[in-house]
Amino acid sequence: MRYVLGVLFLAVLLSPMVLRWAVGVSDQKALPKDVLTLVIVTPHSEAIRREFREAFSKYYQEKFGKAVTIDYRVYGGASEIKNVLGALRETTYKANGTYDIDLAWGGGDATFDVDLKPFLEGLALDPEFVKQVYPSPKLGGLKLYEESNPPLWYGTELSGFGIVFNRQVLKYLGVEPPARWEDLTDPRYAGWVVLADPTRSSSARTAFMGVVEHTMAVAEEQGRGADRGWAEGMGLIRQIASNVRDFNDGSGAIPALVSSGDVAAAMTIDFYARSQIQFVGEDRLGYVEPANSTVITPDPIGLLQGAPHRELAKQFVEFVLSEQGQQLWDAKVGTKDGPRLVSLRRTPIRQSVFKDMSDLADPVDPFAHVTSFNTSRARTATFSILEVMIQVSCIDVLNDLRATRAAILSSTHAAELDAKLAVFPFDQKEALRRLDEYRKVSPVEKLVLIRKWTSEFRDEYRALRDEAQK
Amino acid sequence: MRKLRDFIFFTLILAIFIALFGVPIWRVTQAAFLGLPVENQTPQFTLGYFTAIFADPMLRAGLFNSVMIALLTTVLCVLIAMPLAILANRYDFLGKSLFSGLVLVPLILPPFVGAIGMRQLLGRNGAFTAILQNVGWISPGEPFDWLHFRLLGIVLVQALGLYPILYLNLTAALANIDPAMQHAAANLGASRWTIFRRITLPLMRPGLFAGGTLVLIWSFTELGTPLMFDFYITTPVQVYKKLGQVTANPIPYALVVLMMAGSILLYVCGKVLLGRSQDTAVSKASIQSATTRLGFIKSIPVIVIFTLIACLAMLPHVSVVLMSLCAPGTWYESALPKVFTRQHYLNALTHPLAVPSVRNSVMFASLSTIVDILLGLWIAAMIVRSKLPRIFRAALDSLAMLPLAVPGTVMAFGYLAVSLQIKAYLSSRNMPSLAGLFDVQNNPTLVLVVAYAMRRLPYVVRSAVAGLQQTPEDLELASRNLGASPMLTLRRITVPLIAANLIAGALLAFAFAMLEVSDSLILAQKEQYWPITKAIYELFQRIGDGPFIASALGVWAMLILTLTILSTNALLGRKMGAIFRV
């Protein structure tokens, strides 16, 4: 028995080596002793990390004749990175003036502007090079690199937001594929939409901000004013929320939930949807970016204070932004400068890449087909409190919200009451006042404020239900 | 003299415990009562964070739900594990060693992919729905939302995952009961039920208490299952959702302290109910309890019970295996995948992370299990055998359970912060090689082993305490009287007598260390030190085929873990079904 177990144990243990040999995967060569090591903290996926490490090593060897490797530090998402850097700040950084990490890469511009800003330092690149990469420093009003001199971060690729949907479930529900955010408020979606929890996901926060910005832009255009537009945007979000099955913990799992038919539709980042469609097929899954009503955001890279390998870090940033590095984001596997194993299906940020799109897996030029609108600082002023507003009006009172919408829709004056639900009870001015109040108070008082605001919404929903029953 | 020695040992254990567990926890407690440090500001003691939590209906509801889930899960675990343990103890039936092994399968289920496997079964268009459609119980194309029954689902899934903890402890406890007692009762005319109620149950109470409290505290602090069911109003989920604020908000710390207090309270309640008069046994079983050999026909009902539980327990495993062989998107509205592929195994096993990660896991888990056995046995001996005042022993007993009550991520951050502080201190004292030991960023082995060991210590402590309580001290005293040293007595008398309990505890500690998530995600920073769980997590994150490749790696990890456990048992010279018989 012992021998059988021993043989079995060895067979299972050695199976990867045998398989690697059988399919001709070569083992990684041992790195030379004098290899240069760049240290990067990142939430990027294993595929991105591997492709960029291999490509950069090759590029560096060819250009400088030296071996280089990247030591990635992976702690989880953006909040874990912030927490770990916080712990390092109190110890390693205080003692030695360095985090022993060179670069932070990925997590969205909001993360870099808010959470990671205290840990970053400016990185100067050749202005000519910057101009080549970003002919314009902004896209649709959104900065592609940080505006300090030198910039704290540079955008390395672009992410858009849209709706991923399951065609077969939509057929079952009897609804047409969605094209606008408003379509997700259709009561036939009740219990069939999933949204990422904005208190956990920075990309969800950005997507919701985009929805609100869109309604603000429309309201402004139509003369109702941006403040009122804010209330309409938040109202739109709570109407969509009344259809949700759940607020999911992270945004990464959402396309899989739609793909498995657990829900019919969801708001998602473009490359999540595209990657899922690649595996499941377009006959089941679809993705749409609501025309002129979504935002596109850059995913940055930035130098950490006291970086031990500054020059190498700069060279890596230059490589990622180079024509060759940018090809890696969306070129098909096996094409010149393309990825070796998996197509990453992300949108390059360098405009020149789109001149010849023959090698791209998703030949969509974000600079030519701008589905987004001009973003503005004035309209994103409530960004820091948006998640709290969604928490108190939707997440913490989800059952109340669902019951209210159901009561409204079954009442004799549904349209009138639904229109009330479609507008937040206060506008942006009041939201900014609340943001100011929220910022100033202690964590305990924040909890009290959240409780107070939640009960305000609960009261509003109760009143709407009472009206519906009249 | 012995009292003095016990006090010295007690102080020593306390010092080790404080160093390895207390320091990271102190940071949590400090933040909960003093707030987070602000430069140039003296911290002041406050209970404000706790009153704020109790004033908040959502956080209050979270605590209530967590307690309810813990109680219901424990009751269900007892209902599952008790009959299995009694049947395994009493009867020799066809395929017993196979079934005794099969009911332990929940111990080898890797994280992430286990949840995905369950979702694949319970999804609206998942396998169960398809089966109901196929048999005509619901209309074709009509989805069914199994995950809608959240509380019930959480309790069921948790109980099916945790009952082996109780089963192992109960089996060990039953094996330690002197059958002469039951024979005497039977001779005096007691019915089977009376014997069970008046003899067996009281005598197996240490095992019931050991396993029951572990399950109670585990399910009270469980994060993964409520998340899988998207049920967010439980304290562990609320802590998890506030983790992003740990650098600015003391409320999550106060919630963790409440979880620790809640765990101790549940533990004390368990002790009052089950642990009363846990005086050491006065006699050790001199013979093994005789098992009744069942013929084929009589074996059938027992086999049915074992098969039923094993099948239910293996559902996630089966689902993970099917996922690992299924072409993405082809297990949809069907009971089984429509297209099979071996590509995920090729992708997973040829991945550069596969081999190093399993090597790291086996190394970290083995080392931490050795630490657990040594420290756990020592603590257990202090709790049961020392002449310390009762309150000291009770305090040590409760302390040893605390690691179960602290969320993994919080502990991991605690270890990270402490190791960084030690490293900075040692570097400033010009001790680079010693500082290197604590340098999590470069080599996390030491810190990971300590973290794994501390978090799994309660399993070994509980098992060893139960074993010692069922073993009369007279045997050890006799050995000492005959001139044996304490070490020789421990080696030749105590350890062999409680070997079943130690193996049960060590098995749990090893298995759970192999499948550890939180510490691994935070502390294993360099790829070369990633354990298998972090490798699975990484592959799992891939959009599209990620869950499938992760499932393939998960199946491989399950095989390695199963074969490790089986090989260990074979090396110990005992069969799987018999290792808990002394």
Contacts of A25 in chain B (CB under 8 A): 350
Note whether B248 and B228 are within 8 A (CB). Answer: no
The pLDDT of residue A1:
65
Which pairing describes strands A154-166 and A265-269: parallel, antiparallel, or unpaired? Answer: antiparallel
Axis-axis angle for helices A443-469, B48-55 (nearest 10) = 10
Of the partner residues B56, B559, B570, the one whose CB lies closest to the CB of residue A451: B56
Q: What is the mean pLDDT of residues B438-445?
A: 84
User: Which of A370, A55, A422 lies closest to A237 in space, CA to CA?
Assistant: A422
Query: pLDDT class for B284, splitting at 50, 70, 90?
Result: low
pLDDT in tens, A160-203: 899 999 999 999 999 999 999 999 999 999 999 999 988 888 88
Structure tokens at B232: 């967010």
Note whether A316 and A38 are within 8 A (CB). Answer: yes
Note whether A371 and A289 are within 8 A (CB). Answer: yes
**CA–CA gap between residue B72 and residue B311 (Å, rounded):** 21
Note whether B272 and B443 are within 8 A (CB). Answer: no
DSSP string over B142-196: ----GGGSHHHHHHHHHHHHHHHHHHHHHHHHHHTS-HHHHHHHHHTT--HHHHI
Nearest-CA distance from B103 to chain A in Å? 20
Mutate to test the interface with A, among B543, B548, B561, B576 (most CBs of A within 10 A): B543
CB contact under 8 A, B543 and A252: yes
Query: pLDDT class for B577, splitting at 50, 70, 90?
Result: very low
B264 burial level (CB within 10 Å; 0-12, 13-18, 19+) = middle
Chain A stretch 393-432, residues whose beta carbon is closer than 8 A to a beta carbon of chain B:
396
Note whether A296 and A142 are within 8 A (CB). Answer: yes
Q: What is the pTM of this model?
A: 0.83
Query: Which residues touch A430 (CB under 8 Å, ≥6 apart)?
Result: none
Chain A stretch 338-377, residues whose beta carbon is closer than 8 A to a beta carbon of chain B:
342
Residue B33 DSSP class: H
How far are the Cα atoms of A32, A66, A103, A319, A321 from residue A58, in angstroms, in the given order? 14, 10, 20, 11, 16
B92 inside 8 A of chain A by CB: no
The whole-chain average pLDDT of chain A stands at 89
CB contact under 8 A, B329 and A74: no
User: What type of residue sits at position A107?
Assistant: G
In this complex, how many residue pairs, one in chain A and one in chain B, have their CB atoms less than 8 Å apart?
A: 185
Contacts of B413 in chain A (CB under 8 A): 83, 87
Mutate to test the interface with B, among A244, A277, A447 (most CBs of B within 10 A): A447
B432 inside 8 A of chain A by CB: no
How far are the Cα atoms of A12, A55, A300, A321, B313 from residue A328, in angstroms, in the given order? 35, 9, 16, 10, 44
The whole-chain average pLDDT of chain B stands at 84
CB contact under 8 A, A12 and B119: no
Report the SS3 class of residue A116: coil
Lowest-confidence pick of A124-128, B20-24, B109-113: B109-113
Report the SS3 class of residue B217: helix
Of the partner residues A16, A47, A84, the one whose CB lies closest to the CB of residue B416: A84
The pLDDT of residue B283:
55
CA angle A254, B253, B15 (to 5 degrees): 125
Note whether B383 and B524 are within 8 A (CB). Answer: no
User: Which of B334, B314, B316, B338 lies closest to B325 in space, CA to CA?
Assistant: B338
Chain B stretch 517-536, residues whose beta carbon is closer than 8 A to a beta carbon of chain A:
521-522, 525-527, 534
Q: What is the mean pLDDT of residues B339-352?
A: 90
Q: What is the mean pLDDT of residues B203-231?
A: 84
**CA–CA gap between residue B55 and residue B407 (Å, rounded):** 23
The pLDDT of residue B275:
61
Peptide bond into A150 cis (omega under 30): yes
User: Which of A84, A369, A391 lies closest to A234 in space, CA to CA?
Assistant: A391
Nearest-CA distance from A23 to chain B in Å? 8
Query: pLDDT class for B69, splitting at 50, 70, 90?
Result: very high
| Strand ranges in A305-459 using DSSP code E only, listed in sequence order | 347-348
Tell me, what's the ipTM?
A: 0.84
The pLDDT of residue A127:
94
**CA–CA gap between residue B24 and residue B11 (Å, rounded):** 19
pLDDT at B521 over 80: no
pLDDT at A327 over 60: yes
User: Which of B548, B31, B75, B568 lies closest to B257 in space, CA to CA?
Assistant: B31
B48 inside 8 A of chain A by CB: yes
User: Which of A361, A368, A319, A302 lies closest to A133 in space, CA to CA?
Assistant: A319
Nearest-CA distance from B65 to chain A in Å? 15
Lowest-confidence pick of A14-18, A337-341, A375-379, B454-458: A375-379
Report the SS3 class of residue B14: helix
Q: What share of chain A has pLDDT > 70, as a percent?
A: 97
Of the partner residues A5, A23, A90, the one whose CB lies closest to the CB of residue B563: A5
Contacts of A76 in chain B (CB under 8 A): 521-522
CB contact under 8 A, B441 and A100: yes
Query: pLDDT class for B466, splitting at 50, 70, 90?
Result: confident
User: Which of A101, A73, A96, A145 lies closest to A304 in space, CA to CA?
Assistant: A101
Note whether A208 and A196 are within 8 A (CB). Answer: no
Of the partner residues B56, B355, B542, the one whose CB lies closest to the CB of residue A17: B355
Note whether B90 and B96 are within 8 A (CB). Answer: no
Nearest-CA distance from A110 to chain B in Å? 15
Of the partner residues B413, B542, B559, the one whose CB lies closest to the CB of residue A87: B413
Contacts of B345 in chain A (CB under 8 A): 19
Residue A66 backbone zone (phi > 0: left; psi -120 to 50: alpha; other: beta) = beta
Contacts of A8 in chain B (CB under 8 A): 563
Report the SS3 class of residue B514: helix
Nearest residue in A to B141, CA atom? A172
User: What type of residue sits at position B96?
Assistant: K
The pLDDT of residue B508:
82
**How many other CB atoms sit within 10 Å of the CB of residue B561?**
23
The pLDDT of residue B575:
39
Contacts of B421 in chain A (CB under 8 A): 90-91
The pLDDT of residue A181:
94
Structure tokens at B212: 């029951």
Query: pLDDT class for A53, splitting at 50, 70, 90?
Result: very high
pLDDT in tens, B236-271: 888 877 766 666 778 888 888 888 888 888 888 877
User: Which of A161, A160, A157 lies closest to A349 in space, CA to CA?
Assistant: A157
Query: pLDDT class for B580, splitting at 50, 70, 90?
Result: very low
Contacts of A282 in chain B (CB under 8 A): none
Axis-axis angle for helices B408-428, B445-469 (nearest 10) = 120
Q: What is the mean pLDDT of residues A260-277?
A: 92
Provide Rg for chain B, Cα atoms: 24
CA angle A119, A125, A128 (to 5 degrees): 150
A436 inside 8 A of chain B by CB: no
Nearest residue in A to B563, CA atom? A9
Contacts of B246 in chain A (CB under 8 A): 83
Contacts of B545 in chain A (CB under 8 A): 279
Which pairing describes strands A244-248 and A296-304: parallel, antiparallel, or unpaired? Answer: unpaired
Which pairing describes strands A68-73 and A36-41: parallel, antiparallel, or unpaired? Answer: parallel
Count of alpha carbons within 13 angstroms of residue A337, beta-carbon side: 16
**CA–CA gap between residue B6 and residue A453 (Å, rounded):** 56
pLDDT at B108 over 90: no
**CA–CA gap between residue A208 and residue A386 (Å, rounded):** 8
A29 burial level (CB within 10 Å; 0-12, 13-18, 19+) = exposed
A276 inside 8 A of chain B by CB: yes
Note whether A179 and A166 are within 8 A (CB). Answer: no
The pLDDT of residue B319:
92
Note whether B370 and B450 are within 8 A (CB). Answer: no
Structure tokens at A461: 């929903």
Query: Which residues touch B157 (CB under 8 Å, ≥6 apart)?
Result: B118, B225, B228, B229
Of the partner residues A46, A281, A443, the one whose CB lies closest to the CB of residue B250: A443
Structure tokens at A222: 């139509």
How far are the Cα atoms of A252, A258, B177, B179, B184 from residue B288, in angstroms, in the given order? 55, 56, 9, 7, 15
Report the SS3 class of residue A300: strand
**CA–CA gap between residue B423 and residue B431 (Å, rounded):** 9
Query: pLDDT class for A56, splitting at 50, 70, 90?
Result: very high
Contacts of A91 in chain B (CB under 8 A): 417, 420-421, 423-424
The pLDDT of residue B582:
31
